[in-house]
Amino acid sequence: MVGLKILHTGDLHIGMKFNSYPELIRDQLIKARFNVLQTLVNKANNEQCNILAVAGDLFDKITVPKKDIEKALSILEGFAGDCILILPGNHDYDNGMVELWDFFKKKHSDKVILINENRVYSLESHDLDVAIYPAGCNRKHSKQNNLGWIKEISKQPEAKWHIGLAHGALEGVSPDMSQQYFFMTTRELEELPIDIWLLGHTHAPYPAQSSVTGNKIFNAGSPEPDGMDCTHSGHAWLLEIDEKKNVTAELINSGTYRFIDTTAMIEDGSSFESIKRRCLKDGADTTLLRLKLKGRIDQDLFRQKESFYKELESKLAYLKIDDTELGVKITGDIIDSEFTSGSFPHQFLNELFSDGDEDALQIAYELIQGVKAI
């Protein structure tokens, strides 16, 4: 073997329920977790990878249904390479008493290796001159990562390549201000005698580049977006290590769905058109959009907004709009048409209109309208 090829993924969260979404799209999002696993296996096979590595959170929780475990395993078993490495993450942690992993171990073949113990795993029996160092999770939260046992190794076993898999927040990459998620620093990872680190936990890839040479630390990110805070398209790493331990990496796109969470200031009709250009491009039927609208627009355009909403809804996979901060721009004509000339509201609003204080005018108009509605 000249080099070693690895497909590195993690954070698939199979079993995630997506309960905040309507039934139709919810079912599609659930199915997408399995579809992307199949996509990754196919990619690994096409690239003739030796190892398929899942760096934690293959499952969303430790109580995932057995049928989901069996379905995930049936897809994984289609990998044509030498072995599959499965590391428990903080969502699917293993503390030695988790039924999920007991069932998993009974069902998987010899090609699948659950790396859930604090020890070096040799892949010699899979015809690979590789030593694996796992730093998984035995609970959902921890202020301490699981790298300690690796730091205490006095002598490494003989192997051509030494590969670490860890699950936890990476300093400067993961949002973990209170350090509750097995927090790690790049420095402590780099100081360990490991050729390459394959991480999971953060749902965005690291490094944030499509092609990398010479890096030692990689975080796969989620291969399928799973929420409005996951704005990328879903990724995994295709890695190759040569005999001199030089690493080359390619970030591959793997996801189906796209989440967009955005706020738009509406000034005129072109603002609506700009939103459509952005959100209704290729892949609109797999786009989930949460849109907050702000601004003051003329009355005719305000009346047309519902047709804009209907067009988006008909083409997107999911749409949620918050237009509580979008209103009609108050003009003299509107004041004259809605309030009796000479009345207090008419005089008061016209004074504010003359002063040019649009914010005060808008607030006063809405308050008066609210009183009228009582």
**Tens digit of each residue's pLDDT (9 = 90 or more) over 129-138:** 999 999 999 9
Q: Please state, in angstroms and rounded to a whole number, the distance separating the CA atoms of residues 99 and 108.
A: 14
Tokens of 235: 């990724």
The strand pair at 217-219 and 51-54 is best described as unpaired
* The predicted structure's pLDDT at residue 1: 54
Average pLDDT over residues 31-60: 98
The neighbouring-strand residues paired with 14 are: 59
Is 70 exceeded by the pLDDT of residue 110?
Answer: yes
Average pLDDT over residues 249-274: 96
| Three-state secondary-structure class, residue 274 | helix
- Looking up tokens 């003739």, which residue turns up? 48
* The predicted structure's pLDDT at residue 354: 86
Q: Which of 3-12, 166-175, 267-276, 341-350 has the lowest mean pLDDT?
A: 341-350
Q: Please state, in angstroms and rounded to a whole number, the distance separating the CA atoms of residues 184 and 44.
A: 28
Q: Please state, in angstroms and rounded to a whole number, the distance separating the CA atoms of residues 332 and 108.
A: 74
Average pLDDT over residues 232-250: 96
Which amino acid, 247?
Answer: V
The strand pair at 83-86 and 51-54 is best described as parallel
* The predicted structure's pLDDT at residue 196: 98
Average pLDDT over residues 183-205: 96
Q: Between 371 and 143, name the one with better pLDDT.
A: 143
Q: Between 22 and 338, name the one with better pLDDT.
A: 22
